[in-house]
Amino acid sequence: MLVLSRIWRSVELSLLKSHYLVATSRTRRVLSLTAARHHGDFEYQDPKSEDEVVNITYVLRDGTKKHIRGKVGDNVMYLSHRYNIELEGACEASCACSTCHVYVEQAYYDKLDEPKEEEDDMLDQAPALRHNSRLGCQITLRKDLDGITVSLPPITRNFYVDGHVPQPH
């Protein structure tokens, strides 16, 4: 462990087995090294006007389609949780797993921002990877994505017991 007395008094940095860097003080206060993230609160609000509505279709593993009225700013993974769609998200949108892996319809895939390196790294671990694979937690709905279709892959790297249905957080 390294002690960084110049920067923080009595702060220890330890590299955990999972390769996360954690800073803690001797009084056991956790010092965050990253900005705070929304964890789905925004997605549990209905659109305030029709200008905010973004229609999204989820194609479930059995082939059935579920049409949802999302809104600008919604995260595809959290929105699926709100409507009881089986898209896991074990890491809660921190881009540290591939359980929210989806296939994006090509016309809309081309409209998405390029995936960041972290997302590409996680997609490398996703089973049944395709050229149009993305992580649902990294897709934020915009008005130009109105009508987007995302399909759930046949399998994911499931951290829960098979048959578990994710619950909203």
User: What CATH number has the domain bearing residue 143?
Assistant: 3.10.20.30
Boundaries of domain holding 24: 2-31
Q: Are residues 78 and 124 in the same domain?
A: yes
For 21-69, the pLDDT digits (tens) are: 444 445 555 555 555 445 555 667 889 999 999 999 999 999 999 999 9
CA pair distance 91, 96, nearest whole angstrom: 6
Q: Are residues 57 and 22 in the same domain?
A: no
- Strands in 101-104's sheet, in edge-to-edge order, are 65-71, 53-59, 148-151, 101-104, 133-135
Q: Residue 67: what residue type?
A: H
Residue 71 lies in a domain: yes
Evaluate whether 110 touches 131 at the Cβ level (below 8 Å): no
- What is the percent of the chain with per-residue pLDDT over 90, rounded to a whole number? 60
Residue 163 has pLDDT above 70, yes or no: no
Q: Are residues 81 and 140 in the same domain?
A: yes
Residue 77 is inside which H or E element, if any?
helix 76-82
Residue 169 lies in a domain: no
pTM value is: 0.70
Residue 160 lies in a domain: no
